[in-house]
Homo-oligomer: A and B are copies of this chain.
Amino acid sequence: MLLSQTGSYAMRAAIHLAERAEEDGAEPVRVGEIAESIGVPRNYLSKVLNQLVRAGVLSSERGPRGGFALAMPADEISMARIVESVETPLLDRRCLLGRPECTDADPCAAHPHWQALADRITSFLEETTLADLRRTGGKR
């Protein structure tokens, strides 16, 4: 699996916020609505959203009329930015085999074979934005 469970939650929540932003502009969305909509544990999601706030991806307001919203336009938020906010490291590009000491000088056996694909994966995560992932038309 490319994304952790937490990374998946973060992505789905962000996509939901991108969709809601299209409908209601900058109106904050409450945790309860997001959790129910994407079907994940409410309290845990709350913690994940808070990480996104601290990473500057989301903004939040407390109290009535409070909730979460994207901190910037959807087309400026990449998958990489979201995933990096909640899980570390995003992708071990250095070494597919997980060797801590894998360097160019002493590369692992998979090194040359892995590089090209790792580059594509990284590009995918960096170049795909919430705007790309937002549902257009079709059912919810």
Contact = CB atoms under 8 A, between A and B. Distances in A.
Interface string A104-140: 0010111001000100110010001000111100010
Contact of A117 (B99, B110, B124): B124
Interface residues of A, number: 31
Interface string A1-15: 111010010011001
Interface in A51-79: none
A96 interface: yes
A2 B125 CA distance: 14
Interface of A: 1-3, 5, 8, 11-12, 15, 39, 89, 91-92, 96-99, 106, 108-110, 113, 117, 120-121, 124, 128, 132-135, 139
Interface centre among A8, A91, A106, A128 (most CB of B within 10 A): A8
25 contacts: A1-B91, A1-B92, A1-B98, A2-B2, A2-B92, A2-B121, A3-B96, A3-B98, A8-B98, A8-B99, A11-B96, A11-B97, A12-B99, A12-B109, A15-B97, A39-B99, A109-B133, A109-B134, A110-B128, A113-B133, A117-B120, A117-B121, A117-B124, A120-B120, A121-B121
